[in-house]
Structure 1
Amino acid sequence: MTGMSRRTFLSLSTAVAAGAAATSLTGCGSAAKKSGEAASAKVKLPSYVPFTKIKPDLPPNAKGLSAGFLSYPEELVRSVAKTPGDGSNITMLTEIWTQPPTPKDSNGYWKAVDKNLGVDLTAILGTDPGYEQKFSAVIAGGDLPDLLWIPPNQGIQHIAELLEAKCADITKYVSGDAVKTYPNLAAMSPAHWKTAVVNGKIWGAPVPYPAFGQVYAGNPKVWAKADGLQSSSTEEFLDKCKEVTGGKTWALEPIYVNAVNVLCQSFGAPNKWRQNKDGSLTWFQETDEYTEALAFVLKLKQAGVFYPGNPKMADAYIKMAQGAIGATVHANPYNARNEIRVQDPELAAEIMIPFAAGGNKPNHHYHLGTIGYTAIKKGDEKRVRMLLRVLDYLAAPFGSKEREFLEYGTEGEDFTYDKNGFPTRTKQGKQEVEGLYSGLQTATTSPFALIASSFPGDERAQDVKDVYAAEQKLIETAVRNPVVGHYSDAYTQHYGRMSTEATDLVNDIVSGRKKIGEWKPFWAEWKNKGLEQMAREFQKSIEKSA
Structure 2
Amino acid sequence: MNSALSRRGFLAGAAGITAGVTLAGCGDGGPTVPLSANADVKLPTYIPYKGVPTSMPGTPEGITPAYLHYPADPVRAFPDGPPAKGPGIDIMTLIFNPVPPPVNRNVMWQALNKSVGTDLDFRITPVGDYPNKFAVTIAGGDLPDAMLMLLTSAIATPEMLGSLFQDLSEHLSGDSVRDYPYLANIPTASWAPCVFNGGIYALPMPRQLSGNPNYTRLDLFKKAGVDPNPRNWREFAQMCKDITDPKANRYALGDSVTAFNFVMQMLNAPNKWREESGKFTWYFETEEAKEALNAVRSLTRAGTLHPDTYTVTGKVKEWFGSGRIAMTWDAPSACNDFYTNYAPATEGFEVGFMKAPGWDGGDAAQWQGGANYAVLIIKKAPKERIKQILRAMNALATPFGTDGYLLRKYGVQGTDHTLQGTDPVLTTQGQAEVTLPTIFATDAPAVQYYPARPETVPGQYAFQEKVVPHLVADPSEALRSATDSRKGGLFQTTVDDTRKGIMQGRVPLKEWDDLISRWRSEMGDTIRAEYEQAWEASH
Same fold (TM over 0.5): yes
1:171 shift after superposition: 1.8
Query: Do 1:182 and 1:389's aligned partners in 2 also have CA atoms closer than 8 Å?
Result: yes
What letter matches 1:116 in structure 2? S
The 3-state SS of whatever aligns with 2:214 is strand
CA distance in 1, matches of 2:306, 2:324: 8
Q: Which residue does the alignment assign to 2:287?
A: 288
Q: Which residue does the alignment assign to 1:507?
A: 500
1:355 shift after superposition: 0.9
Residues 114, 22 of structure 1: alpha-carbon distance in 2 compared, 3 angstrom cutoff: farther
Residues 269, 200 of structure 1: alpha-carbon distance in 2 compared, 3 angstrom cutoff: farther
Q: Which residue does the alignment assign to 2:354?
A: 352
2:459 to 453, 462, 466: 466
Query: Do 2:219 and 2:350's aligned partners in 1 also have CA atoms closer than 8 Å?
Result: no
1:319 shift after superposition: 2.5
Query: Do 1:41 and 1:541's aligned partners in 2 also have CA atoms closer than 8 Å?
Result: no
1:152 partnered with 2:151: yes
CA distance in 2, matches of 1:210, 1:508: 32
Query: Do 2:233 and 2:359's aligned partners in 1 also have CA atoms closer than 8 Å?
Result: yes
Query: Do 1:337 and 1:349's aligned partners in 2 also have CA atoms closer than 8 Å?
Result: no
1:255 partnered with 2:255: yes
Q: Which residue does the alignment assign to 1:387?
A: 389
Q: What RMSD in Å do the two structures reach over aligned CA positions? A: 2.4
CA distance in 1, matches of 2:100, 2:340: 24
Residues 354, 106 of structure 1: alpha-carbon distance in 2 compared, 3 angstrom cutoff: closer
Q: Which residue does the alignment assign to 1:323?
A: 323
Superposed CA deviations along residues 70-104 of structure 1, whole A, max 9, x for unmatched, are: 11101111233542224213211012232323323
Which 10-residue stretch deviates more, 490-499 or 184-193? 490-499
Residues 296, 220 of structure 1: alpha-carbon distance in 2 compared, 3 angstrom cutoff: same
Report matched runs for 1:109-188 at 5 Å: 109-153=108-152, 155-188=153-186
What letter matches 2:297 in structure 1? L
Superposed CA deviations along residues 108-152 of structure 1, whole A, max 9, x for unmatched, are: 443333332222332211112211222223223311111111123
Query: Do 1:36 and 1:487's aligned partners in 2 also have CA atoms closer than 8 Å?
Result: no
Residues 106, 338 of structure 1: alpha-carbon distance in 2 compared, 3 angstrom cutoff: closer
Aligned residues: 514
Residues 33, 105 of structure 1: alpha-carbon distance in 2 compared, 3 angstrom cutoff: farther
1:372 to 365, 371, 374: 374
What letter matches 2:422 in structure 1? G
What letter matches 2:385 in structure 1? R
The 3-state SS of whatever aligns with 1:252 is coil
Query: Do 2:108 and 2:434's aligned partners in 1 also have CA atoms closer than 8 Å?
Result: no
Q: Which residue does the alignment assign to 2:7?
A: none
Q: Which residue does the alignment assign to 2:57?
A: 59
1:475 partnered with 2:477: no
Q: Which residue does the alignment assign to 1:5?
A: none
Q: Which residue does the alignment assign to 2:227?
A: 228
CA distance in 2, matches of 1:309, 1:110: 39
Q: Which residue does the alignment assign to 1:304?
A: 303
Q: Which residue does the alignment assign to 1:12?
A: none
Q: Which residue does the alignment assign to 2:13?
A: none
What letter matches 2:356 in structure 1? P
Query: Do 1:341 and 1:347's aligned partners in 2 also have CA atoms closer than 8 Å?
Result: no
1:24 shift after superposition: 4.7
Residues 330, 39 of structure 1: alpha-carbon distance in 2 compared, 3 angstrom cutoff: farther
What letter matches 1:520 in structure 2? D
Q: Which residue does the alignment assign to 1:408?
A: 410
Residues 25, 487 of structure 1: alpha-carbon distance in 2 compared, 3 angstrom cutoff: farther
Query: Do 2:147 and 2:376's aligned partners in 1 also have CA atoms closer than 8 Å?
Result: yes
Residues 320, 428 of structure 1: alpha-carbon distance in 2 compared, 3 angstrom cutoff: closer
CA distance in 2, matches of 1:22, 1:500: 18
CA distance in 2, matches of 1:509, 1:59: 43
Which 10-residue stretch deviates more, 112-121 or 34-43? 34-43
1:525 partnered with 2:522: no
CA distance in 2, matches of 1:403, 1:228: 39
Query: Do 1:22 and 1:157's aligned partners in 2 also have CA atoms closer than 8 Å?
Result: no
The 3-state SS of whatever aligns with 1:79 is coil
What letter matches 1:78 in structure 2? R
Please list every run of 5 or more consecutive structure 1 residues that lacks an aligned counterpart in the other structure: 1-20
Query: Normalized against structure 2, the TM-score is what?
Result: 0.89
1:523 shift after superposition: 1.1
Which 10-residue stretch deviates more, 375-384 or 352-361? 352-361
Which 10-residue stretch deviates more, 219-228 or 501-510? 219-228
Superposed CA deviations along residues 23-81 of structure 1, whole A, max 9, x for unmatched, are: 95642542237489568433222111110032234100001101111111011112335
How high is the sequence identity, in percent, across the aligned residues? Answer: 28
CA distance in 1, matches of 2:197, 2:475: 17
Q: Which residue does the alignment assign to 2:215?
A: 217
Query: Do 1:210 and 1:367's aligned partners in 2 also have CA atoms closer than 8 Å?
Result: yes
CA distance in 1, matches of 2:357, 2:22: 43
Q: Which residue does the alignment assign to 1:266?
A: 266
The 3-state SS of whatever aligns with 2:205 is strand
Query: Do 1:37 and 1:537's aligned partners in 2 also have CA atoms closer than 8 Å?
Result: no
Report matched runs for 1:420-499 at 5 Å: 420-431=421-432, 433-436=433-436, 439-453=437-451, 456=452, 460-499=453-492
Superposed CA deviations along residues 193-238 of structure 1, whole A, max 9, x for unmatched, are: 1122233322121111121223321222333346422211111111
